Amino acid sequence: MGKLERHATIADVAALAGVSVGTASKALNGRGSLREETRMRVREAARQLSFEANAGARSLHSGRTYTVGMITTDTIGRFSIPVLMGAEDALGAGEMSVFLCDGRDDPIREQYYVKTLLSRRVDGMIVTGRRTEARAPIGANLPVPVVYAFISSADPGDCSVVPDEAGGARKAVEHLLAVGRTRIAHVTGPEHHNSARVRAAAAAERLAEDGLSLVAPPLFGGWSEVWGRQAVGILLAGRSEFDAVFCGSDQIARGVCDALRAAGRRVPQDVALIGFDNWDVMTEACQPPLTSIDLDLEGLGRSAAEMLLAAINGSPSPGRHAHPCRLVVRESTTMPLP
């Protein structure tokens, strides 16, 4: 199992095939005018030496590396993964590779990564993060295009692709209305999170369009199941009746669901329940399975990557682009057919 085979160079290939380096290069890249027999001979030699052209040397000429950098603002997590996968997907199709850099919420670390990526001559960068908050641009006047995905840049001229959270919240409310609920409560994450505020506001707005309002002010807390359970206590102690709860996350929804059941309220008969994020772990384990809003992060990542590719090819798409959310209906808002 000797791992010591040196990397073959095109000179090795040329020597084995009995041609000059230039000719070997042409043979392998389909350039120039060569006899088919020569081409084959070179290809065979390359195969035999398992030759792979040195991408670094190659990019010296083309000026392109077919590589993009991906920087996470905070840490690689549940939200960045799908974005990452979507991006990887779209870029892979364009034969590009991805450099992954985990910023860990440390600006020094982040700047270090930006420099590293630039020195590696990436063709572009994608910046992502765990929260949808706007953030300071990663650099000014960078020599390569940058796209912000999920998170957005504070500079409105930068290209950002963000989930349409307001639209998602509206869809949630519309769905509850469609299944006949009108007395809706809202339990969500901390008020200092942009996501919590935006979703709450959009929900209220959508209700207002039908002349309705939330049965109580939104309950801001954490994103956890524990908070969901606590919130039910608050709701039940309050004086307003409710027939649906729109939750800011699936974890909250699950907590709400468990607590409602413990309190003797049936889901969905007595209270319809809808979450946010469409996280399979929660939606499937919930009893009953949870209706939720899917951010389509993979699609978002793909879309961001496509915009980056376009920008690399000279057609940037500056500005903020909202990526639509999808409603996924399960039994927490509708009874299964018998």
67 contributes a contact to DNA by CB under 7 A: no
Residue span binding its own copies (CB under 8 A) among the ranges 23-31, 79-87, 181-189, 212-220: 79-87
Q: In angstroms, rounded to a whole number, what is the distance separating the alpha carbons of residues 65 and 56?
A: 7
Please say which residue, 175 or 265, places its beta carbon nearer to its own copies.
265
DSSP annotation of 155 reads S
Please say which residue, 20 or 213, places its beta carbon nearer to DNA.
20
Q: In angstroms, rounded to a whole number, what is the distance separating the alpha carbons of residues 212 and 229?
A: 26
- Please pick, from the candidates 31, 47, 120, 326, the single residue that binds its own copies as defined by CB under 8 A: 120
144 contributes a contact to its own copies by CB under 8 A: yes
Q: How far is CA 62 from CA 24, 30, 55, 65, 179, in A?
A: 18, 16, 10, 8, 58
Among residues 245, 241, 224, the alpha carbon closest in space to that of 175 is found at 245
81 contributes a contact to its own copies by CB under 8 A: yes
Q: How far is CA 75 from CA 6, 80, 287, 318, 329, in A?
A: 37, 8, 31, 26, 31
- Please pick, from the candidates 27, 45, 74, 88, the single residue that binds its own copies as defined by CB under 8 A: 88
Binding partner of residue 216 among DNA, its own copies, none, CB cut-off 5 to 8 Å per kind = none
- Residues whose CB falls within 8 Å of the CB of residue 57, separated by 6 or more in sequence, listed in order: none
Among residues 320, 298, 309, the alpha carbon closest in space to that of 164 is found at 320
65 contributes a contact to DNA by CB under 7 A: no
Please say which residue, 44 or 209, places its beta carbon nearer to its own copies.
44
For the window 16-55, what string marks contact with DNA as x by the rule CB under 7 A? --xxxxxx-xx-xx-xxxxx-xx------------xxxx-
Tell me how far, at minimum, the Cβ of 55 lies from DNA, in Å: 8
121 contributes a contact to its own copies by CB under 8 A: yes
239 contributes a contact to DNA by CB under 7 A: no
179 contributes a contact to its own copies by CB under 8 A: no
Q: In angstroms, rounded to a whole number, what is the distance separating the alpha carbons of residues 104 and 88?
A: 21
- Please pick, from the candidates 47, 48, 57, 64, the single residue that binds DNA as defined by CB under 7 A: 57
Binding partner of residue 192 among DNA, its own copies, none, CB cut-off 5 to 8 Å per kind = none
Q: In angstroms, rounded to a whole number, what is the distance separating the alpha carbons of residues 21 and 3?
A: 26
